[in-house]
């Protein structure tokens, strides 16, 4: 095979990928969602286009209420000064640097905080504001310890699985969308240990396209990522 032909074949996948992300190749819904970027689309890098397309897909899967919250956040972002935006970017970078298991603990802690009555949340906020650095660290350590104990109680059902089944739990959960994971978490909270183990076994053995249906049987979300 001639060298020139070899080079063409090597570059062909890259060329096809680039063509697939040209503006005219997007469907009508994607073009509508991404219309603010239409004028600069051809100048955007491939990574940036990928992220925007992923965002457009998430947008299409959102409920009207979720879309409304996103619009409100965009308006708040546009109203920020450059310094405020930089502080937000810095917080995002710090969050992304946290290990995923720790982020999941923080998400669960936030969910528990939001579930508290407004008066209790206000009391905790005031208490936090009046703490010194050492007190905040001690408080955070105590919360983390309590979350760890709660997590151990929440996962007690895993003792009913054999070692091979337990090893397959994490890959199965990671294959779910954020909505599906949230729906699964809520459903598991309502089940006893034996039923949790049975559901986990069913999800492990199911094909990826069947898992959403299993989760949705109790009103969960079966939307794909």
| Residue spans per domain, the chain | 159-225
Pairwise CA distance, residues 141 & 125, whole Å: 17
Cite the DSSP H helix spans in the chain. 3-20, 28-33, 46-60, 64-78, 82-96, 100-115, 118-129, 133-154, 163-167, 169-174, 178-189, 193-205, 208-216
How does DSSP classify residue 26? S
Nearest of 163, 156, 225 to residue 194 by alpha carbon: 156
- The predicted-structure confidence for 109-158, as pLDDT tens digits, reads as follows 777 777 778 888 888 888 878 888 887 777 777 767 766 666 666 678 88
- Please tell me the predicted confidence (pLDDT) of residue 177: 83
**Helix 208-216 and helix 193-205, axial crossing angle in degrees, nearest 10:** 150
User: With a cut of 70, which residues of the chain have pLDDT below it?
Assistant: 1-21, 143, 146-154, 217-225
CA atoms of 221 and 204, how far apart (whole Å): 18
**Rounded to an integer, what distance in angstroms lies between the CA atom of residue 216 and that of residue 223?**
9
């Amino acid at each position: 095979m001639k060298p020139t032909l070899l080079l063409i074949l090597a570059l062909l996948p890259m060329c096809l990928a680039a063509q697939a992300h040209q503006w005219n190749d997007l469907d009508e819904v994607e073009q509508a969602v991404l219309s603010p970027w239409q004028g600069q689309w051809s100048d955007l890098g491939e990574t940036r286009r990928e992220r925007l397309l992923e965002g457009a897909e998430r947008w299409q899967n959102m409920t009207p209420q979720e879309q409304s919250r996103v619009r409100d956040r965009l308006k708040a972002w546009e109203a920020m000064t450059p310094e405020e935006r930089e502080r937000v970017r810095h917080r995002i970078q710090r969050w992304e640097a946290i290990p995923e298991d720790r982020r999941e603990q923080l998400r669960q802690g936030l969910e528990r905080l939001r579930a508290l009555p407004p008066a209790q949340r206000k009391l905790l906020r005031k208490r936090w504001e009046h703490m010194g650095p050492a007190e905040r660290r001690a408080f955070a350590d105590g919360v983390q310890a309590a979350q760890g104990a709660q997590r151990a109680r929440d996962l007690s059902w895993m003792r009913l699985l054999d070692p091979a089944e337990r090893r397959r739990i994490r890959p199965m959960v990671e294959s779910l969308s954020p909505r599906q994971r949230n729906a699964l978490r809520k459903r598991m909270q309502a089940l006893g240990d034996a039923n949790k183990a049975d559901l986990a076994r069913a999800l492990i053995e199911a094909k990826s396209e069947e898992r959403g249906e299993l989760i949705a049987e109790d009103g969960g979300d079966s939307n794909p990522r």
